[in-house]
Amino acid sequence: MRVRTSVSSQGSPGKGAGLGLALVSALAFGGSGVAAKPLIEAGLDPLHVVWLRAAGAALVMLPVAVRHRGLPRRRPALLAGFGLLAVAGVQACYFAALSRIPVGVALLIEYLAPAMVLGWVRFVQRRPVTRAAALGVVLAAAGLACVVEIWSGLSFDALGLLLALGAACCQVGYFILSDQGQDRGDAAPDPLGVIAYGLLVGTAVLTVVARPWTMDWSVLAGPADLHGTAVPAGVLLAWVVLVATVIAYVTGVLSVRRLSPQVAVVVACLEAVIATVLAWVLLGEHLSAPQVAGGAVVLLGALIAQSATPADKGTPEPVAPGGAEREMSARGSAA
Q: Which amino acid is at 67?
A: R
Closest of 257, 251, 238 to residue 60, by C-alpha: 238
* Inter-residue contact 245 to 57 (CB < 8 Å): yes
The Cα-based distances of 102 to 19, 224, 273, 329 in angstroms read: 28, 17, 13, 22
Residue 276 CB coordination number (10 Å) = 24
The Cα-based distances of 83 to 166, 175, 266 in angstroms read: 16, 13, 26
At 261 the pLDDT is: 54
Would you write out the chain's pLDDT as a tens digit for each of its 335 residues?
555 544 444 444 567 777 888 888 888 888 888 999 999 999 999 999 999 999 999 999 999 999 999 999 988 988 998 899 988 999 899 999 988 888 888 888 887 777 787 778 778 878 887 787 778 778 888 887 888 776 666 667 889 989 999 998 998 887 777 655 554 555 678 888 988 999 999 999 999 999 999 999 999 999 999 988 999 999 999 999 999 999 988 887 777 677 765 566 566 667 777 888 888 888 888 778 888 888 888 888 877 776 654 444 344 444 444 433 333 333 444 44
Q: What are phi and psi of 15, to 5 degrees?
A: -65, -35
Q: Which H or E element spans position 260? A: none
Residue-wise over 233-253: b if at least 16 C-beta within 10 A, else e? beebbebbbebbbbbbbbbbb
Please, is 57 exposed, middle or buried when counting C-beta atoms within 10 Å of its C-beta (0-12, 13-18, 19+)? buried
* Inter-residue contact 44 to 210 (CB < 8 Å): no
At 314 the pLDDT is: 43
At 67 the pLDDT is: 95
The Cα-based distances of 310 to 152, 193, 292, 317, 322 in angstroms read: 38, 31, 31, 7, 11
pTM score: 0.79
pLDDT tens for residues 114-129? Answer: 778 777 877 887 888 7
At 7 the pLDDT is: 44
